[in-house]
Amino acid sequence: MSPLHSLAFVVNAQKSGAAEIAADLMELAIAAGAEVKETHEFPVPADFLTACDACCVIGGDGTLLGIARIAAEAGVPLIGVNRGSLGFLTTFSAEEAREHFAAMVAGDYEIAERVLLSCSTGAEPADLALNDVVIKDEKHSRLVRLAVHADDELVTTYSCDGLIFSSPTGSTAYNLSAGGPLIHPGAEVIALTPICPHTLSNRSIIFRQDVKLTVSSDGADTSLLVAVDGQRHLRSCEGDTIEIAIAPHRLKLVHRRTFDHFSIVRTKLKWTGGVTNGH
């Protein structure tokens, strides 16, 4: 791959050791001939990624989610260094980042592209989600009735605590906790998982890449909360239709050439079972 001549660093200083790791990696980048800049601001300034070859995000998955939309729109790849807990998105540990960073700056890396979800409500502009869009009752912890259509065809009306629309990347997040399926991150699909459905036969549905999904409330006096990646909320007034689809943008993630998705899944989810003869 092409060498990285200009690097941005987004550092979550509230994470233990993040500032020290950032200093070490910036020193390695400068020694390799790259220009660097750094911010601790959240959200990052709108033009922070301009003319950057990559952005190194040091924190947890939430830190990376906070910059994913801007990075996808700018076409800037993200290097995630984990200082959080699970770290499905921030796949480099501090030790791995220090060991491999100089080689990555020189071009020894691969790019993985991840789909994003586009979500819009009423007249509001669309937002982008790397993980998921979650729809619940806005004011009360109560049952909601949500009618879902796929390309104008009624799927069903769910009686539930809410709905999770997940990208493949987000399938290891809220979707998994709610009993949804694991999806390989290279797939281009949308998973719909109801939260605590009152019809026990309601299960997750996987929709194709080009589907246009719409959601509307089937209950009176219900205002909906539309959470995007658990970080931003879209305004949804009574009677609004929520539209969800796969976005035209893709997020680029930087991986080592030896990156193994299922090795990370086994480690993070603590899967058991013997591994013998390299299998």
CB 253 within 8 A of CB 112: yes
Predicted local confidence at residue 88, as pLDDT: 82
Predicted local confidence at residue 276, as pLDDT: 58
Report all structural domains of the chain as residue ranges with CATH numbers, in order of start. Answer: 6-109+256-268 (3.40.50.10330), 116-249 (2.60.200.30)
* Residue appearing with tokens 């941005």: 8
DSSP letter assigned to residue 104: H
CB 172 within 8 A of CB 183: no
Does 61 participate in catalysis according to the annotation?
yes
Which CA distances in Å does 228 have to 117, 126, 128, 136? 9, 11, 7, 12
Q: How far apart are CA 37 and CA 39, in angstroms?
A: 7
DSSP letter assigned to residue 171: G
With vertex at residue 12, the alpha carbon angle to CA 9 and CA 13, rounded to the nearest 5 degrees, is: 110
Q: How far apart are CA 195 and CA 140, in angstroms?
A: 15
List the catalytic residue out of 61, 127, 132, 137.
61
Predicted local confidence at residue 244, as pLDDT: 98
- One digit per residue, the tens of pLDDT, for the chain of length 279 reads 999 999 999 999 999 999 999 999 999 999 999 999 999 998 898 899 999 999 999 999 999 999 999 999 999 999 999 987 767 888 899 999 999 999 999 999 999 999 999 999 987 789 999 999 999 988 777 889 999 999 999 999 999 999 999 999 999 999 999 999 999 999 999 999 999 999 888 999 999 999 999 999 987 667 889 999 999 999 887 778 999 999 999 999 999 888 888 888 888 888 887 555 555
